[in-house]
């Protein structure tokens, strides 16, 4: 059994009643899931590829995987056009701390593959899948472009299937997780997200893969959202 939420409390750790709670996406086969993670492909290789603009904005994609052991972000070139893009969505049910004051948060991922032809980064962005518990090809175009944390350059991410790499949420990301219920994030390559087309190098790609909730690595390498928070405080007057 692997819980989807872990919590510890710390009194005097920089705030009164400060707590840290860790959330995980549900994996495939969980009973009564409330969240999901997975990735999407837009594969245009069969038709000779597509222009950057077309492959980037295509709706829907060509395949969705919410039971795979990896999350992926990729741009891949054909001989003279672009052959495939990949993107991911991951969700966390934080309803157990709804109403709390959010102090800080990180989204931690373990890299299992990394290839960087075009000098790229990974962008953590907003996302709004059609369902919180299952992904479909139409969700390929349901990732936003608003960054929830600083981009992480591919060449600075440890690729060892063991090390948790952190995206520290910025003010926009913290506001986002201040909402109620399930919070969804997206992963895209920075070039995809920023609409920054590189010069094509035939057959070459930028690819990064992270362990998903369905990973089977040593220890626990699932994606995790770690939130530091305090209880909402309502002052009360005491009359004598």
Per residue in 30-79, pLDDT tens?
999 999 999 999 999 987 899 999 999 999 999 999 999 999 999 999 99
Q: How far apart are the first and last CA of the chain?
A: 52
The lowest-confidence range among 5-19, 87-101, 119-133 is 5-19
pLDDT above 90: percentage of residues in the chain: 87
Query: What average pLDDT does range 7-13 have in this prediction?
Result: 49
| Mean pLDDT taken over the chain | 92
Handedness of CA 71, 77, 78, 82 (dihedral sign): positive
Q: Strands, E, within the chain: which ranges? A: 5-10, 18-23, 37-43, 63-65, 70-77, 82-93, 101-116, 121-127, 143-147, 152-153, 164-168, 182-189, 205-211, 224-230
Query: Is the pLDDT score of 144 beyond 60?
Result: yes
Q: Is 197 left (phi over 0), alpha (psi -120 to 50) or beta?
A: beta
Which comes out higher in pLDDT, residue 23 or 15? 23
- Asked if residue 159 lies in contact with residue 112, where contact means CB atoms within 8 angstroms, the answer is yes
Predicted pLDDT at 25:
98
Predicted pLDDT at 1:
42
Per residue in 89-118, pLDDT tens?
999 999 999 999 999 999 999 999 999 999
What is this structure's pTM?
0.90
Predicted pLDDT at 12:
45
Which residue's entry shows tokens 């007057």? 237
């Amino acid at each position: 059994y692997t819980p989807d939420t872990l919590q510890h409390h710390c009194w005097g750790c920089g705030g009164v009643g400060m707590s840290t709670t860790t959330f995980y996406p549900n994996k495939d086969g969980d009973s009564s899931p409330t969240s999901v993670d997975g990735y999407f492909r837009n594969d245009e290789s069969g038709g000779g590829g597509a222009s950057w603009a077309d492959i980037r904005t295509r709706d829907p994609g060509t395949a969705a995987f919410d039971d795979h052991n990896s999350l992926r972000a990729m741009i891949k070139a054909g001989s003279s056009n672009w052959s495939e893009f990949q993107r991911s969505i991951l969700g966390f049910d934080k309803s157990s701390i709804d109403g709390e004051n959010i102090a800080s948060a990180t989204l931690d991922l373990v890299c299992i593959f990394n290839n960087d032809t075009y000098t790229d980064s990974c962008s953590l962005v907003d996302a709004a899948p059609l369902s919180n518990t299952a992904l479909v090809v139409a969700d390929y175009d349901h990732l936003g472009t608003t960054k929830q944390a600083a981009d992480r350059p591919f060449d600075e991410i440890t690729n060892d299937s063991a090390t948790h790499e952190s995206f520290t949420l910025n003010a926009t990301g913290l506001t986002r997780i201040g909402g109620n219920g399930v919070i969804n994030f997206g992963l895209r390559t920075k070039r995809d997200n920023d609409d920054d087309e590189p010069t094509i190098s035939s057959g070459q790609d930028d690819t990064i893969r992270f362990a998903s909730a369905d990973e089977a690595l040593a220890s626990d390498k699932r994606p995790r959202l770690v939130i530091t928070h305090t209880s909402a405080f309502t002052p009360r007057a005491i009359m004598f």
